[in-house]
Amino acid sequence: MAFSNLTPTACITCLNASNQFCLPSSSPFKSLKFPLFWPWEKVKTGPLTVSPMGFGTWAWGNQLLWGYQQSMDSQLQQVFNLAVENGINLFDTADSYGTGRLNGQSEKLLGKFIREFRGKKRIKDEIVIATKFAAYPWRLTAGQFVEACRASRDRMQIEQIGIGQLHWSTANYAPPQEFALWGGLVAIYEKGLVKAVGVSNYGPKQLVKIYDYLKARGVPLSSAQVQFSLISMGEDQMEIKNICDSLGIRLISYSPLGLGMLTGKYTPSRLPRGPRGLLFKQILPGLEPLLVSLREIAEKRSKTIPQVAINWCLCKGTIPIPGVKTVKQAEENLGALGWHLSSNELLQLDYAAQESPRRMIQNIFQTK
């Protein structure tokens, strides 16, 4: 995992007395441990071995929420290369990522970046793409789910998808469709289109049901992806975590930074543009106790607030998949690896989260 391409011009200049590589002053991080994590810190997700943190690509193609423009693609490729060169091999996407004519753009870009990656073949071969297939109203049969999987594979131009995931459950509004889509998960696994299967936005009760359904058909449920962060750790989320631990399902935590509310960049008077701004206006004023604790720990450890928030997810035994759009964000996210919050710091953050009167609005697609 070399740092030779940490930024377009960065190079290692020295090895200091603490055995840390020092980067040029132009880098936002004066020194980073090498490597960012050790091989034994990788985690098993079903039959796959993945980095302790992945990167999410929701923003890659999404104009409405994240302001994507195709002119960003060259920087996104730098982000991808930086991540892979520093040991990140898990990338999460979905067939619904991308707005309008750009639907599926995230998958297309990931496939392109993999093909054009110039690093070692072994590193390229270890990349795991976890993509999600939407439970669209017109996907009513297992066969249609299989076709969706094939379409994603074709967009990425890869032989086999790492983890094929059902993006959300339809149990709350279309139970018959739910069982057809479960059959689709079995089919894509049996046909060898994916190496493993997972689910997203499943609550505790429905998670146990699909686990039992798949197990009865000889298909292991490898992962469950839910919104999980310091502002999304309610009873349901903690119950999901406990179920995953007991059943051997790997919990993948999306939005570990609460769509950006846990970055420290925003205040009630300084909000992001677009739909996020409306959400932040409701929630940010009630997060002060938590943000104060995050800032305090970050300053003591010479870390940033996002790094502390992501590390909290790591310490909880989840695989966080923070979203990335820029090289700067990628560098900062990578700084969440290679260290661990103390038990006292975890307790402090847990308490501050409980004392904060506002919480993240739960995904409407998450079932009970």
Residues labelled as active-site residues = 97
d(CA 122, CA 55): 20
Phi-psi region of 8 (alpha: psi -120 to 50; beta: other; left: phi over 0): alpha
Helix ranges restricted to H, 284-342: 288-301, 305-315, 327-334
Neighbours of 193 (CB within 10 A): 18
In degrees and rounded to multiples of 5, residue 110 shows phi and psi of -60, -45
Residue 40 sits at φ, ψ, to 5 deg, of: -75, -5
Distance CA 83, CA 258 (A): 21
- For residue 165, the SS3 value is strand
CA 82 to chain centre: 16
Considering Cα of 340, then 203, then 233, then 67, what sign does the dihedral take? positive
DSSP per residue, 204-263: HHHHHHHHHHHHHTT--EEEEEEE-BTTB--HHHHHHHHHHHHHTPEEEEE-TTGGGTTS
Contact 215, 221 (CB under 8 A): yes
Task: Give the C-alpha separation, 236 to 359, whole Å.
Answer: 13
SS3 195: strand
